[in-house]
Amino acid sequence: MKLELSRVVQGRSRLGVLKRLGRAGQHSLEVPGCLLYTHLGTVPHLTQDTLHTQSNLPSVTQVTLSNIAEHQEVLEEFKDGFRKFSGLHDTVLYCSLHDPATPCPTGYTTNKTVSVWGSGGRIELTVAKFMTLQRAVQPDWYQSMADGETWQSNTSRKRVRKSVDRTLAHLDECLLVHQKSQELEGVEVFGAVEGGDILEERVRSARETAKRPVAGFCLDGLQTGSMDQALRTQLITAVTKELPEDKPRLLQGVGRPDEVLECVDAGVDLFESFFPFQVTERGCALCFSFDVSPDPERAGRAPPAVLELDGEKEMAGETQQNGDLNLDDQTQMTSFEINLKDKRYQGDFRPLVEGCGCYCCKNHQRAYLHHLLVTNELLAGVLLMIHNTAHYHGFFSALREALANDKLDLLKRRVLRERDGQT
């Protein structure tokens, strides 16, 4: 894995390409970018046929041990790794610990173990078991075992310090086993940076992790819901200062477009794309505009998705006041989306987003999606997931383009305006 940066804006926002990914080194991923979020290798609701109606999918697929751990036996017997087991072919496989869309119960970590929750309940992992799983999964890169339980705002300094120490100890142990495992030759390890909301602990965790032979860093315990964005920005800025320039930084648990932009500004390269899934699950469609095109014709015309939604925006503005600061509930609708269950879409024969090139928008109308949602039909999830995934990846493309053309501020203003409900 090699990170080639083409631009660094204001010493922090980074534009570049993560190259030589995968064991044969044939893949690359543009940064800032996001990974492909999956349940057990499957993008939620989508078969390979429906997924591949979309081109330009991220070259890296994320799977989590919380999904995989319970299938250890079959993977060990299979021997050829999870990618082949799940019928994925041409993709880089990244294995993280927890599912970013599923809050993980706290209180189950010990000095020697962490726990993941699968469909059959809790599975406790020691480093030995964790590494046995990685040998069976055979990812291209994985997150080292980590104690990330410090996201609650009332976590004590002592507990935070312990999580930093434990996570470093887990990393050392993982690396030791890793070096002895033939199956993991050429596989990269990302170290987890912990430290809760305590700046000194964050810095210590970053410094110490950076001393280890890791390929990149997972910024853990900063997820949406754990703290406000100002504090998150402050912590990330301090952390990225400590990290080597040439290694990627993956932020876990943050997916809202406004937060993504702030975090890119603070030096983050990679995100997990669970946000479109959360939007899909509440029956919503992403519709926020990220067009900062210089073309006067395009720039002069507010994107239709915004213009049409005066009423919606008012409502979304309220959500912003109450919801966006109510950090506990990630299931709540954000102002980046429209709720298609709403009666106003019953007779609306427009696509979800005018001009969107996704399979859903090219073939179906809001009225149909509304119908599928009120009748609880499975196709609703399929079509929404297609659109939301495409829209979200489109946002990341726009983000890179803005960075390349010195327009990140313009993009931020546009997205924040969407959030705050002004059009």
Partner 1 sequence: MSLKRALSAASPLTLRIVAQCPVTKARACDLILPHCAVSTPVFMPVGTQGTLKGITVDQLEGLGCQICLGNTYHLGMRPGPDLIEKANGLHGFMNWKRNLLTVTVGFRWCLLLSSQEVTEEGVKFKSPYDGKEILLSPEKSISIQNSLGSDIMMQLDDVVSSTVTGPRVEEAMHRSIRWLDRCIAANKNPHKQNLFAIIQGGLNAELRKACLDEMTQRDVPGFAIGGLSGGEEKDDFWQMVTLSTDHLPREKPRYLMGVGYAVDLVVCTALGCDMFDCVFPTRTARFGSALVPWGSLQVKHKQYAKDLRPIDPDCQCPTCKRHSRAYLHALFKSDTAAMHHITIHNIAYQLTLMRSVRESIVEGRFPDFIRTFMKRMFPSRDQYPGWAVDALASVNITLE
Which residues carry a binding-site annotation for Zn(2+)? 356, 358, 361, 387
Shorter beta-carbon distance to partner 1: residue 43 or 250: 43
* Min dist. Cβ of residue 387 to partner 1 (A): 12
Asked if 24 is part of the footprint of partner 1 (rule: CB under 8 A), the reply reads no
Q: How many CB atoms lie within 10 A of CB 70?
A: 17
Asked if 117 is part of the footprint of partner 1 (rule: CB under 8 A), the reply reads no
* CB 29 within 8 Å of CB 92: yes
CA distances from 47 to 99, 385, 386, 391 (A): 20, 11, 11, 18
Shorter beta-carbon distance to partner 1: residue 38 or 115: 38
Asked if 39 is part of the footprint of partner 1 (rule: CB under 8 A), the reply reads yes
Asked if 48 is part of the footprint of partner 1 (rule: CB under 8 A), the reply reads yes
Q: Which residues contact 269 (CB under 8 A, 6 or more apart)?
A: 3, 14, 16, 18, 31, 32, 33, 248, 249, 250
Backbone angles phi, psi at 54, to 5 degrees: -100, 130
Q: Give the footprint of partner 1 on residues 282-311 (CB under 8 A).
A: none
- Tell the burial category of 131 from Cβ atoms under 10 Å away from its Cβ (0-12, 13-18, 19+): buried
* CB 392 within 8 Å of CB 284: no
b/e map of 222-241 (b: 16 or more CB within 10 Å)? Answer: bbbebbebeebbebbbbbbe
Task: Please identify which residue in 28, 59, 62, 86 interacts with partner 1, judged by CB under 8 A.
Answer: 86
Asked if 90 is part of the footprint of partner 1 (rule: CB under 8 A), the reply reads no
Q: Which residues contact 421 (CB under 8 A, 6 or more apart)?
A: 313, 314, 316, 317, 320, 335
Asked if 229 is part of the footprint of partner 1 (rule: CB under 8 A), the reply reads no
**Facing residues of 271 across strands?**
34, 251
Asked if 346 is part of the footprint of partner 1 (rule: CB under 8 A), the reply reads yes
Asked if 119 is part of the footprint of partner 1 (rule: CB under 8 A), the reply reads yes
**Which residue stretch of 83-91, 262-270, 296-304, 314-322 sits at the interface with partner 1 (rule: CB under 8 A)?**
83-91
* Min dist. Cβ of residue 53 to partner 1 (A): 8
Task: Please identify which residue in 14, 27, 71, 161 interacts with partner 1, judged by CB under 8 A.
Answer: 71
**Which residue stretch of 1-9, 64-72, 258-266, 328-336 sits at the interface with partner 1 (rule: CB under 8 A)?**
64-72
For the chain, what percentages of helix, strand and coil (3-state, to nearest 5) are there? 45, 20, 40
Helix/strand/coil for 253 = coil
Task: Please identify which residue in 11, 25, 87, 213 interacts with partner 1, judged by CB under 8 A.
Answer: 87
Q: Report the side by side order of strands in the sheet with 27-31.
A: 2-9, 13-21, 27-31
Asked if 102 is part of the footprint of partner 1 (rule: CB under 8 A), the reply reads no
Q: How many CB atoms lie within 10 A of CB 20?
A: 14
**Which residue stretch of 84-92, 133-141, 235-243, 265-273 sits at the interface with partner 1 (rule: CB under 8 A)?**
84-92
Asked if 53 is part of the footprint of partner 1 (rule: CB under 8 A), the reply reads yes
Task: Please identify which residue in 94, 130, 368, 395 interacts with partner 1, judged by CB under 8 A.
Answer: 368
Question: Which H or E run includes 189?
Answer: strand 188-193
Shorter beta-carbon distance to partner 1: residue 53 or 152: 53
Task: Please identify which residue in 10, 24, 73, 294 interacts with partner 1, judged by CB under 8 A.
Answer: 73
Shorter beta-carbon distance to partner 1: residue 64 or 209: 64
* CB 384 within 8 Å of CB 285: yes
- Binding footprint of partner 1 on the chain (CB under 8 A): 39-40, 42-50, 53, 67, 70-71, 73-74, 77-78, 85-87, 118-120, 346-347, 349, 359, 363-365, 367-368, 370-372, 374-375, 377-379, 381-383
